[in-house]
């Protein structure tokens, strides 16, 4: 897909509920709600570094459960045991895009065993797709584009902006939708 064609697609809209989880007590409640779902969307955000040799820990973990997206402010609450239990669960399928670095970043906060993760980039490549990544998969399989304007914003800010919340929510929310699109065209069981 040529880069110049991307702007011809409408922006996807997220009309679900965003839950900002920035207290330990609310993390436990959120994890209980999420654990009732069989497939969740998964992504992380990290404060960007514009200096060589400087890096930051993961600031935000996004998990979608249907039309609810939970944004865990890991820089405020840490990687809690309830969150680790979700990420280690063999009964919940965690779906994301290019998740290798997300997992590496989370394991820097606290080591854990991953289980039942599906990287949509890997699935797309296995199925013969040449173009991969969130933007292109969203266009090819859902018919919408996503904005990446907030990608390099400060995810460790005291208060996230509405634009950041929407961006973060969409990045996790689209993953199960893309997986369902693969299923609809019989490319995934």
C-alpha separations of 84 from 9, 25, 81, 170, 178 in Å:
37, 15, 5, 22, 25
pLDDT given at position 75: 95
9 in a structural domain:
yes
Under the banding of pLDDT at 50, 70 and 90, the label for residue 2 is low
14 in a structural domain:
yes
pLDDT given at position 8: 87
Quote the domain boundaries for residue 17.
3-184
pLDDT tens readout for residues 28-39:
999 999 999 999
189 in a structural domain:
no
62 in a structural domain:
yes
Tell me how far apart the alpha carbons of residues 182 and 172 are, in angstroms, rounded to a whole number: 16
**Is residue 189 pLDDT above 90, yes or no?**
no
171 in a structural domain:
yes
81: helix, coil or strand?
helix
50 in a structural domain:
yes
pLDDT tens readout for residues 77-131:
999 999 999 999 999 999 999 999 999 999 999 999 999 999 999 999 999 988 7
**Is residue 3 pLDDT above 80, yes or no?**
no
132: helix, coil or strand?
coil
Dihedral, CA atoms, 152, 115, 130, 44, nearest 10 degrees? -10
Average pLDDT over the chain, rounded to an integer: 94
Residue % of the chain over a pLDDT of 70 = 98
Whichever domain contains 96, its CATH number is 3.30.420.10
Tell me how far apart the alpha carbons of residues 123 and 132 are, in angstroms, rounded to a whole number: 10
Tell me how far apart the alpha carbons of residues 15 and 72 are, in angstroms, rounded to a whole number: 19
137 in a structural domain:
yes
pLDDT given at position 5: 81
Number of domains observed in the structure of the chain: 1
């Amino acid at each position: 897909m040529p880069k110049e064609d991307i702007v011809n697609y409408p922006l996807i809209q997220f009309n679900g509920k965003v839950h900002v989880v920035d207290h330990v007590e609310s993390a436990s409640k959120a994890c209980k709600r999420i654990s009732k779902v069989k497939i969740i969307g998964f992504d992380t955000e990290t404060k960007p570094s514009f200096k060589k040799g400087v890096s930051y820990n993961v600031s935000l973990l996004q998990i979608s459960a249907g039309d609810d997206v939970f944004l865990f402010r890991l820089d405020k609450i840490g990687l809690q045991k309830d969150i680790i239990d979700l990420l280690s669960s063999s009964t919940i399928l965690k779906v994301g895009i290019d998740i290798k670095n997300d997992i590496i970043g989370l394991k820097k906060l606290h080591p854990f065993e991953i289980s039942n993760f599906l990287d949509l980039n890997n699935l797309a490549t296995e199925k013969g797709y040449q173009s991969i990544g969130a933007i292109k998969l969203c266009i090819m399989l859902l018919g919408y584009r996503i904005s990446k304007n907030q990608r390099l914003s400060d995810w460790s800010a005291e208060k996230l902006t509405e634009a950041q919340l929407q961006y973060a929510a969409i990045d996790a929310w689209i993953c199960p939708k893309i997986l369902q699109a693969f299923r609809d065209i019989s490319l995934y069981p």
